[in-house]
Amino acid sequence: IKRIVTNPNILAVLGGIILLFTGIRLPETLSIAFNDVGSMVGPISMIITGMIVGGMRLKNMTENPRVWLVLLFRMVVCSGTAVAFVALAGIPYRIASGHSIVMISLLSAIAPSASNINQVAIIYNKDEKYASAINVLSTLSCIVTMPLWVMVSSAMGISNFLPSVVTGLA
């Protein structure tokens, strides 16, 4: 429990919650520094993923059956469960701007695994190549699964996202 409570990520979240509810503002220099560090997280994650994947062959990424099981679970089962739950609960019709809020939530639920799984695997001396394979293949699978889930959710009346995208392209 001590390791969990003293984890820098947990401490940062607690600090953020305190700042949010107390209304305390950080000095501008700290705010700018935190903003700059925060904007580097995505690119650094991609660089680390690229370094790990650069040393792998595509065949090595696809030959582990557990990678495919994780992809099936993450990109189909979890995403489908999220879409079904939202459809059955009728959430888009219960709140103002419900369709937009639900679509934003669904897009995050059907997104690929985060790039930071590679870094966590490295920190805890786990199989970073396995984590990278999941990251890369889930990102590639989103080319098919994200448009599919958006079409399904639009067809079920969960969101009006698809018509706005189509009219935006026209």
Nearest to 149 by CA among 93, 113, 88, 106: 106
Which residues, including other chains, have CB under 8 Å from residue 10's CB and lie 6 or more apart? 4
Q: Is the pLDDT of residue 42 over 70?
A: yes
Number of Cβ within 10 Å of residue 26's Cβ equals: 12
pLDDT (0 to 100) of residue 168: 47
Please write the tens of the pLDDT for every residue from 117-147: 777 888 888 888 888 888 888 888 888 888 8
> Maximum Cα–Cα distance for the chain, whole Å?
56
pLDDT bin (cut points 50, 70, 90) of residue 170 is: very low
- How open is the CA angle 130-131-133, to the nearest 5 degrees? 65
Which residues, including other chains, have CB under 8 Å from residue 56's CB and lie 6 or more apart? 129, 132, 133
Q: What percent of the chain has pLDDT over 90?
A: 11
Note every long-range contact of 165-170, with CB atoms under 8 Å and residues 24 or more positions apart, other chains counting: none
pLDDT (0 to 100) of residue 162: 52
pTM of structure:
0.62
Average pLDDT of every residue of the chain: 81
Backbone angles phi, psi at 22, to 5 degrees: -90, -20
Which of the pair, 68 or 45, is modelled with greater confidence? 68
pLDDT bin (cut points 50, 70, 90) of residue 166 is: very low
Please write the tens of the pLDDT for every residue from 70-114: 889 988 898 888 888 887 887 777 777 777 777 777 887 788 777
Residue holding tokens 């099981």?
Answer: 69
Distance CA 161, CA 50 (A): 32
